[in-house]
Copies of this chain bind each other. A is one copy, B any other.
Amino acid sequence: MQVGDLIRVKKGQNTYEGILMPFENELDDKFITIKLENGYNVGFKLEAVSVKVVRKGKPFSATMPKVDILHKKGLPDIAIIGTGGTVASKIDYMTGAVYPAFSPAELLQLVPELGDIANISGKEILSIASEDIRISDWKNIGASIIDQFNEGCKGVVVTHGTDTLHFTSAMLSFMLRGLQNPVVMVGAQRSSDRPSSDAAFNLVSSVNFSRTDCKEVAVCMHSSLNDDHCLIHRGTRVRKLHTSRRDAFVSVNCPPIAKVMGAKNIEFISSYKNNAEGDLYLDDAIEEKVALIKTYPGARDIVAAYVDKGYKGIILEGTGLGHVPMTLYDEICRGIEEEVVFGMTSQCINGRVNMNVYRGGRMLKEAGVIPLEDMLPETAWCKMCWVLGHHSDYSEIKEAMLADVAGEIRPTSRIDTYDIGRW
């Protein structure tokens, strides 16, 4: 039984038939995963099933016709950097075979439209499940992006698993200073091989957008259940809001930047950064001891635990306008005494914190908790890691957290109004 074989799995009364998927690592010898004809993956515990090979698989390379790669004059050079996730696996698994599809020939074979809009180069630098992404990975991805630009690429596309795509896009937005060209992150929600899968369409749309004059880190994902267009979200303003739907990624507290219709036209729908500031470089000074805490009624112990562990910064995801239960108040005050920096965001996701309206908020603000306006909690966590990599003085940290670096915050000068917001 080899990866790529069509196998039949019997479990109790039920029989399943599908292509044997690659094992992810040595821990997987207890499980097998097959891809059903309908495109879905099913996992089985080996000891609970009986397995039979129906048809041997063919290696991917054998089924792929040759493609001539011509460097077409007039088309921009675009680099695609692979980090793992469903975009890649969609491509890998088309025949059930493992194949990192990052050579130009492979990419063009799988998504021919790419050849009409760009000269593509590809490089897989990581292959991890995105929930396992770490700060060191972000530094590597950032350095690879800089390399591609230094080699003359007009734009860089980064493929990424969707679980933490919005964390990575926010962190890169802070780390990549002086962008002269677009960095477009792209994922796919469905590893299914259905004609309606979002992988190819998202990839073409992201390459198309990477040719524009947008000097930001952006996220390109499906906008609806139809194949009509993708949306381009600002890297600091986007969140995954559905576990499985293809339109799971949504801009929060601001409109998306653009609509992209695959390889076809691009419609800008809000303002974006198109002026470069200074030279391109990677600013990856990061403090790793930063926590993200979602509060809940009666929560206690958790702030104290992080303070005791030597954490330097804590992003609170409070309720409503930025509140925590008073059970946490003393723990927060002790943290502040021990020079831990606290920032407040809201678990409502949409809208703006306002710590002036109610007593609880005022007390926390008075104690030194920084109200982070309309910043997403995930973005605030990334920013705190980055800001604490640069500053150790509280007032400098506060100023830096509240200064707009990459479109992540829109401060209000009015202390007396809620933001109606947009969602």
Contacts and interface: CB of A to CB of B under 8 A. Distances in A.
Contacts of A349: 241-242, 349
A354 to B, nearest CB: 7
Contacts of A324: 131
B42 A416 contact: yes
Contact of A323 (B129, B346, B353): B129
A315 to B, nearest CB: 9
A356 B27 CA distance: 15
Contact of A296 (B28, B31, B167, B288): B167
A418 B350 contact: no
A94 to B, nearest CB: 18
Contacts of A288: 298
Given A27-B363, A42-B415, A359-B25, A245 B305 contact: no
Given A363-B27, A416-B40, A418-B243, A135 B351 contact: no
Contacts of A421: 242-245
A336 B131 CA distance: 21
A53 B408 CA distance: 41
A359 B41 contact: no
Nearest to A351: B243
A317 B298 contact: no
Interface string A360-380: 101100100000000000100
A325 interface: yes
A243 to B, nearest CB: 3
A172 B386 CA distance: 42
Nearest to A417: B40
A223 B140 CA distance: 46
A252 B103 CA distance: 42
A123 interface: no
A4 to B, nearest CB: 19
11 contacts: A43-B362, A130-B319, A130-B320, A132-B326, A167-B296, A243-B320, A243-B321, A243-B419, A244-B321, A296-B381, A301-B306
Given A27-B359, A305-B305, A350 B243 contact: yes
A66 interface: no
Contact of A302 (B135, B245, B291): B291
Interface string A206-220: 000000000000000
Interface residues of A, number: 84
A359 B317 contact: no
Residue from the set A36, A45, A323, A381 with the largest chain B CB neighbour count within 10 Å: A323
A365 to B, nearest CB: 9
A333 interface: no
A154 to B, nearest CB: 30
Given A131-B324, A320-B243, A28 B359 contact: yes
Interface string A323-351: 11111000000000000000000101111
Interface of A: 16, 24-25, 27-28, 30-31, 36, 40-43, 45, 129-135, 161-164, 167, 240-245, 248, 288, 291-299, 301-302, 305-306, 309, 317-327, 346, 348-354, 356-360, 362-363, 366, 378, 381, 415-421, 423
Contacts of A243: 320-322, 346, 348, 350-354, 418-419, 421
A375 to B, nearest CB: 12
Nearest to A25: B359
Nearest to A248: B348
A290 to B, nearest CB: 9
Given A241-B423, A244-B418, 7 more contacts: A40-B416, A41-B356, A41-B357, A129-B360, A131-B295, A243-B320, A291-B299
Contacts of A416: 16, 36, 40-42
